[in-house]
Chain A
Amino acid sequence: MTPTPLLNVDSLTVRYGARIGCQDVCFDLYPGEVLGVVGESGSGKSTLLNAVSGQLAPDSGKVLYKTRLNEPSNIYAMTGPDGRILMRTDWAFVHQNPRDGLRMSVSAGANIGERLMGVGWRHYGEIRTAGLNWLEKVEIDEDRVDDLPSTFSGGMLQRLQIARNLVSKPRLVFMDEPTGGLDVSVQARLLDLLRGLVADLGLSVMIVTHDLAVARLLSHRLMVMQGGRVVESGLTDQVLDDPQHPYSQLLVSSILQV
């Protein structure tokens, strides 16, 4: 009854010249599972995320993804169109800076509709309705649908980016510090929203964050990275409450108490 993993990452190594980005990283991601990756700046979190999501070619190792046809495929061996289809439909990437994930020169509604058009939607009315639905889901007023993202606040931009990514019903979402740079009340709202969406849509998520509180609230499992290596991994509450590795202990004991 053990489910098969959606994603299987095997000995992934990325080097920047002589420097190590990440080294020998192995993990599985199961359907419906949220995996948090924590560690300080420069520990290789984002490198790993970019490599796993196919945006960065690794020096060695492979990433197997179970497609909708149930075949594990090596994502780096996928040819152009297959890879593009994957990025457009099955996968989504939420950037830390929403401006990296949005098209700032077109309206909010067009930002949401773009991925739908990418998968073949042609009926303008349907696309607009879907756009309005998603604005409501991410708690943005429907009358902002024709506004440019440049008129939105930081928190709204991040929510718009999430709507743009989730509209095509992806199975796997990569998030890079999705709550970074937001003030705490906006962050709480976004966390609540993300958790609800992940549970309702049954998404698998790989989320990179340096905020252990965010990791605790969102992720089922946690990987702690230091110097490009995974030094500890396990159930989120186990890693945070009973950390074993010296670096994990240091990280957990460095949290500020409010």
Chain B
Amino acid sequence: MLRAENVAKSFTLHVQDSTVIPVFKHINMTLKASDCVALTGASGAGKSTFMRMIYANYICQEGSIHVRHGSDWVDMVSAAPHTILDVRRRTMGYVSQFLRVIPRVPTLDIVAEPLKTMGISECNAGWCAAEMLARLNIPKALWSLSPLTFSGGEQQRVNIARGFVAEYPIMLLDEPTASLDADNRAVVLDLIREANARGAAILGIFHDEAVREAVCTSEFDITRFRAANDG
């Protein structure tokens, strides 16, 4: 489903005398259907950075990241913007650590949005979104409110609901279980297992070892690709 080849990343900080911060290089990784791979490594090793590069949120300076999109393969590094948006719409979901929404939009609409952009009718999308919110224990009284006023854990659950509602073939999860209580963590683990069972390929960052052991089929340590400062 996903093939990263010889991927390298460094940040150039122009505001600080063009300091170059190398992150990693020569990453090769493949992700197959029904895989659930845990991305591991110390804080600052570039786990989130690598994940964002797969989502084409960060630019990739070297290498290629091929993603199975329908019957085609798309290189997220060189693809045109509208192709990348189409991959994000239909193939690849990304659950980030932060929820970013327009003020005033009700939670239910936010969760239903990925389905609507896939072309599912408003009514069906709303129904699926409601089911997902209920499963993640978001009280029904909150569905018509904007999640901007919610607690951190509730916001994260809205984010997870939004990520899992659309059943993407590839899912990127950036610490989906951080700041959740045990009950909700169990729900998220079930969602991950179900996604795996229907054939989704999952790449996740999980700091909790117990979570990794519960759902992951393998681990991928990013530390060994660390790029030295001398280039």
Contacts and interface: CB of A to CB of B under 8 A. Distances in A.
A33 interface: yes
A242 B15 contact: no
A246 interface: yes
Interface stretch (B100-108, B164-172, B193-201): B100-108
A192 B102 contact: yes
Contacts of B59: 234, 238, 242, 244
A33 B105 contact: no
B127 interface: no
Interface in B33-90: 52, 56-59, 80-85
Contacts of A188: 102-104
B144 to A, nearest CB: 14
Interface string A231-258: 0001101100110111001100100000
Contact of B13 (A220, A238, A245, A249): A249
B104 A189 contact: yes
B57 A3 contact: no
Contacts of B80: 2
A250 to B, nearest CB: 6
A246 B81 contact: no
Interface string B12-32: 111100100000000000000
Max chain B C-beta neighbours (<10 A), residue from A195, A242, A244 = A242
A216 B102 CA distance: 10
B105 A192 contact: yes
B107 to A, nearest CB: 14
B88 to A, nearest CB: 9
Most chain B CB inside 10 Å of its own CB: which residue of A189, A191, A192, A221: A192
A249 B14 contact: yes
A195 B57 contact: no
A150 to B, nearest CB: 28
A170 to B, nearest CB: 21
Given A195-B102, A237-B57, A33 B14 contact: no
B199 to A, nearest CB: 24
Contacts of B105: 192
Contacts of B11: 242
A4 to B, nearest CB: 11
A27 B13 CA distance: 27
A217 interface: yes
Given A192-B103, A192-B105, A241 B14 contact: no
A191 B15 contact: no
B102 A30 contact: no
Nearest to A248: B14
A97 to B, nearest CB: 24
Contacts of B83: 2
B85 to A, nearest CB: 6
Given A235-B56, A244-B59, A249-B13, A3 B103 contact: no
Contacts of A246: 14-15, 18
Interface string A157-199: 0000000000000000000000000000000110110010000
Contact of B57 (A189, A238, A245): A238
Contact of A242 (B18, B58, B102, B104): B58
Kindly name the residue among A2, A216, A235, A253 whose own CB sees the greatest number of chain B CB atoms within 10 A.
A235
Interface of A: 2-3, 30, 33, 188-189, 191-192, 195, 216-217, 220-221, 234-235, 237-238, 241-242, 244-246, 249-250, 253
Interface of B: 11-15, 18, 52, 56-59, 80-85, 100, 102-105
Query: Sorted from nearest, which 9 A-B pairs have the closest CB atoms?
Result: A246-B14, A188-B103, A242-B58, A192-B104, A249-B14, A235-B81, A237-B57, A188-B104, A221-B81
Given A3-B82, A235-B85, 20 more contacts: A33-B82, A188-B104, A191-B103, A192-B105, A220-B81, A220-B82, A221-B81, A235-B84, A238-B57, A238-B58, A241-B52, A241-B57, A242-B11, A242-B52, A244-B59, A246-B18, A249-B13, A249-B14, A249-B15, A250-B15
